[in-house]
Chain A
Amino acid sequence: QKEVEQNSGPLSVPEGAIASLNCTYSDRGSQSFFWYRQYSGKSPELIMSIYSNGDKEDGRFTAQLNKASQYVSLLIRDSQPSDSATYLCAVTLGTGKLIFGQGTTLQVKP
């Protein structure tokens, strides 16, 4: 079992729709959870972080964390073609080491 699992996709949504990206993790000691966006050929860019159960909203992005289910998700409202990228879920046990999933490719079609 991988430590952090994501569906590789591609996830295709029409422009203006809500994109829902999911991630599960295996270590119950995980403390912090991050979503990075990576455009093709570019470096990962941090878009959201979440540390406690519940929802955290920032603009069109909402991160959701459920530690009991070991599940973290990212919702993108009013998806735009510019949101098309690979979204990487990362978790840490608090030691500084980030463990990444393989990423989900999102395609937003005009």
Chain B
Amino acid sequence: GAGVSQSPRYKVTKRGQDVALRCDPISGHVSLYWYRQALGQGPEFLTYFNYEAQQDKSGLPNDRFSAERPEGSISTLTIQRTEQRDSAMYRCASSLDQGFNQPQHFGDGTRLSIL
């Protein structure tokens, strides 16, 4: 079946603009996660959802970052007033549920570049 789908694959925008990154999880997956990955580093947790409920947003760097999953399926990560330091690969993952033994499956990511 289809894997985790993220769009756009690449996003280039000017500093100060708002951006919205989209994630469509694997069908039937209850849990959805957002990570950010810098070059040469492992993914860094941002936030996650079970169904439409945001369970943990402790990894969001500041209040310019927000995420939603209003219908418990597709999620959007929004960054307001972007800054150059926001440039990174943003990855979405999903799992069947939030159980400790449930593996997370990653999408191809969105490469965000802030000019």
Which A residues are closer than 8 A to B by beta carbons? Answer: 4, 8, 31-32, 34, 36, 42-46, 49, 51, 88, 90, 92-103
- CB of A95 within 8 A of CB of B98, answer yes
- Does B42 lie within 8 Å of A103, measured CB to CB? yes
Complex CA gap A48/B56 in Å reads 25
B36 → A minimal CB distance (Å): 11
Whether B91 is near chain A, meaning CB under 8 Å from some CB there, is yes
Q: Which one, B10-18, B19-27, B70-78, B103-111, is touching chain A?
A: B103-111
Q: Are A98 and B100 in contact (CB under 8 A)?
A: no
Q: Which of B31, B40, B42, B107 lies in contact with A96, CB distance below 8 A?
A: B31
User: Are A98 and B55 within 8 A (Cβ)?
Assistant: no
CB distance from B50 to the nearest CB of A (A): 8
B101 A51 Cβ-Cβ under 8 A: yes
B residues 22-57 near A (Cβ < 8 Å) are 31, 33, 35, 40-45, 48, 50, 55-56
User: Are A88 and B42 in contact (CB-based, < 8 A)?
Assistant: yes
Q: B42 touching A100 by the CB < 8 A rule?
A: yes
Contact of B59 with A by CB under 8 A: yes
Once the chains are docked, how many angstroms separate the CA of A96 from the CA of B100?
6
- Per CB-CB distance, the 9 closest pairs between chain A and chain B, nearest first, are A100-B42, A94-B100, A96-B98, A43-B106, A31-B100, A32-B100, A46-B103, A97-B45, A88-B42
The answer to the question of B95 belonging to the interface, with a C-beta cut-off of 8 Å to chain A, is yes
Please give the distance in Å from B30's CB to the nearest CB on chain A. Answer: 10
Q: Which of A32, A90, A102 contacts B101 (CB 8 A)?
A: A32
Q: A96-B33, A96-B55 given as contacts; is B104 within 8 A of A102 (CB)?
A: no
